[in-house]
Amino acid sequence: MFHSQINVRYAKSLFLLAKEKNLVDEIKNDIELIFQALHEIPELIVLLEHPVVKISRKSAVLTDLFNEKIHEYTSAFLQLVIKNKRENHLKGMLRNYIDLYRQFKGIKTAEITTAIKLSDKEINEITKAIGQQFKTTVELKQKVNEDIIGGVIIEIENKQLDLSVAHYLERLKKEMLDFEIHYKK
């Protein structure tokens, strides 16, 4: 079975259970907590994905780490993943759950790239403007890239709006080269 199929099946099963029990938001919060732990504690991934570590040890570590912090269904899901020896797919399962959640809630993700870090107020205004344009809730991620010199690049739903100074300079350079070629003829 392909890795993505495993990720989707497990995530979809958890999502359908959460939806049935009206716990979609609560379990999404659990998923984000677990995902954050996997990123912040690299040893946790090493432990989970190590083939020599016993299932009982992996299960105990997860229980100790998340015992009172997550819903019992999320905990049972983690135990099932460990029991079925699918822990090397856990990150993908978590990502897929979040994707299903966003789809269910009608949330679109957007990424904005700027030359400098924007203030929270600016981020909120841009998020609101994009949300109004697409008539939906938007989760905005900011990326800083000094190479764009100024302006912004906004990406949403596989569409990109490049209003960066670097883009305009590149376009101007191309137009000048085209002009020079045509002028010489």
Please determine, for residue 27, whether its predicted confidence score (pLDDT) is greater than 70.
Answer: yes
Handedness of CA 77, 81, 82, 88 (dihedral sign): negative
Neighbour order of strands in the sheet with 107-114: 137-144, 107-114, 152-156, 159-162
The two structure tokens encoding residue 34? 């677990």
Reported confidence tier of residue 165, pLDDT bands at 50, 70, 90 = confident
pLDDT per position as a tens digit, 44-91: 999 998 989 999 999 999 999 998 899 999 999 999 999 999 999 999
Each domain of the chain, given as residue ranges in start order, spans 3-103, 113-184
Over 60: is that where the pLDDT of 162 sits? yes
The Cα-based distances of 77 to 7, 31, 54, 72, 136 in angstroms read: 13, 11, 18, 8, 30
- Closest listed residue to residue 115, CA positions, set 148, 81, 80: 148
Structure tokens at 51: 């083939």
Residues 6+ apart with CB under 8 A from 164: 113, 115, 148, 149, 150, 151, 152, 153
Alpha helices in the chain (DSSP H): 3-20, 24-40, 42-49, 55-66, 72-83, 90-105, 120-134, 165-184
Chain mean pLDDT for the chain? 90
Q: Kindly report the pTM of this predicted structure.
A: 0.76
pLDDT confidence of residue 184: 60
CA angle 100, 105, 110 (to 5 degrees): 80
Q: What is the pLDDT of residues 89-109, one digit of tens each?
A: 999 999 999 999 999 999 998
What is the pLDDT at residue 183?
60
The number of residues in the chain equals 185
Are residues 161 and 134 in contact, defined by beta-carbon separation less than 8 angstroms? no
| CATH number of 3-103, picked from 1.20.1050.10, 3.40.50.300, 3.40.50.460, 1.10.520.20 | 1.10.520.20
pLDDT at position 1: 43
The pLDDT of residue 131 is above 50 = yes
Share of the chain above pLDDT 90, in %: 67
